[in-house]
Structure 1
Amino acid sequence: MQFTIKDKTFSAGLMPAIKQFHVVRRLTPLVDAAKDMLDDKAVKRLMEGGKTEDVQLSDFHLGPIASVLASLPDADFEYVVNACLDVTELKQPDGGFAPVRVKGVVMFPFDLSTLIGIVWNVLKGNLSGFFGDLGSALSAKGPTSPSNG
């Protein structure tokens, strides 16, 4: 999956499933608070059958996101960021791609907005299927009826 941030083209691969699982575990506080983060228009689009991968960063209220991110332990935040950087490559002048992070070292200088854009795009590409499948599974299950014991 390719994306562009500030005239730089990136390519993001898939994280191994176990890494995706660990990322989801660390982002659980964000998922729990998602109902307060999404713009009403985005919620309406999703309720009308929109795809989770079509949600843009601009669809979120930044205040609740900042609060949740501030509450994440540094180790969890760094784990998620590093997991995203590990599967990202930057397009080079010769047309090839170079890994963004090699053996724990970030190979290119990025400003904060670029870093956030990388993380957002990688998470969207790697986890949108999970959240879409989860929503489908919950919808397919339907409402539960009370047990008569």
Structure 2
Amino acid sequence: MSLEFEVAGQRYRAEKLDAFKQLHVSRKIAPIVPKLLPMFLKFAEQGDSMKADLAGMAEAFEPLAQALADMPDADCEYVFNACLAVVARNQGGNWASVWSGGSLMFDDIDIGAMVQIASKVIWDSLGPFIQGLLANKARGQAAA
């Protein structure tokens, strides 16, 4: 089952990463997951209603921006390549891949859109794993 979403007025469809890509992406982002948990928690709590709240979105994406800045270039590129490779954009009723041969296929996809798209793919593919981390964190805080 694919995930459909909108970024910057464009409709996108993302397939889930295959199990090995999930493994490798999760390994690459593991060091930054603690920094990303606030963003994923906001996604889980607010979902699509968050897109109307620009201040909330900026606050949610701040840890992601810092985490990306801290990642080694090769890890960052791997994560974006893997995520963008499973995404297509609606073009007049047809779906066209956004990533091919190591290049973006649409000039209007900027860094902001790229980060949002990759975040959606990560949340869709790794969400259960991340939600498990959130549940464990909540249980640990409740026990304290």
Structure showing greater radius of gyration is 1
- Shorter-chain TM-score tier: 0.7 to 0.9
Which residue of structure 2 aligns with residue 101 of structure 1? 99
Gaps of 5+ in 1: 143-149
Which residue of structure 2 aligns with residue 120 of structure 1? 119
Are the counterparts in 1 of residues 89 and 97 from structure 2 also a CA contact under 8 Å? yes
**Is structure 2 residue 75 aligned with structure 1 residue 73?**
no
Which residue of structure 2 aligns with residue 27 of structure 1? 29
TM (norm. structure 1) is 0.71
Alpha-carbon offset, residue 52 of structure 1 = 7.1
Q: Which amino acid aligns with 1:91?
A: N
Residue of 12, 15, 29 corresponding to 1:13: 15
Alpha-carbon offset, residue 51 of structure 1 = 4.4
RMSD after superposition: 3.1
Identical amino acids, percent of aligned pairs: 31
CA distance in 2 between counterparts of 1:132 and 1:71 reads 23
Which residue of structure 2 aligns with residue 87 of structure 1? 86
1:47-66 equivalent positions in 2, closer than 5 A = 51=44, 54=47, 58=57, 60=60, 62=62, 64-66=63-65
CA distance in 2 between counterparts of 1:99 and 1:67 reads 28
TM-aligned CA distance change 1:15 to 1:65, over 3 Å = closer
SS of corresponding position for 2:17: coil
SS of corresponding position for 1:122: helix
Are the counterparts in 2 of residues 53 and 124 from structure 1 also a CA contact under 8 Å? no
TM-aligned CA distance change 1:72 to 1:9, over 3 Å = same
Higher helix share: 2
TM (norm. structure 2) is 0.73
More moved, 83-92 vs 98-107? 98-107
Alpha-carbon offset, residue 80 of structure 1 = 0.5
TM-aligned CA distance change 1:114 to 1:70, over 3 Å = same
TM-aligned CA distance change 1:30 to 1:11, over 3 Å = same
Alpha-carbon offset, residue 134 of structure 1 = 4.7
The count of corresponding residues between Structure 1 and Structure 2 is 130
Are the counterparts in 1 of residues 12 and 88 from structure 2 also a CA contact under 8 Å? yes
TM-aligned CA distance change 1:28 to 1:52, over 3 Å = farther
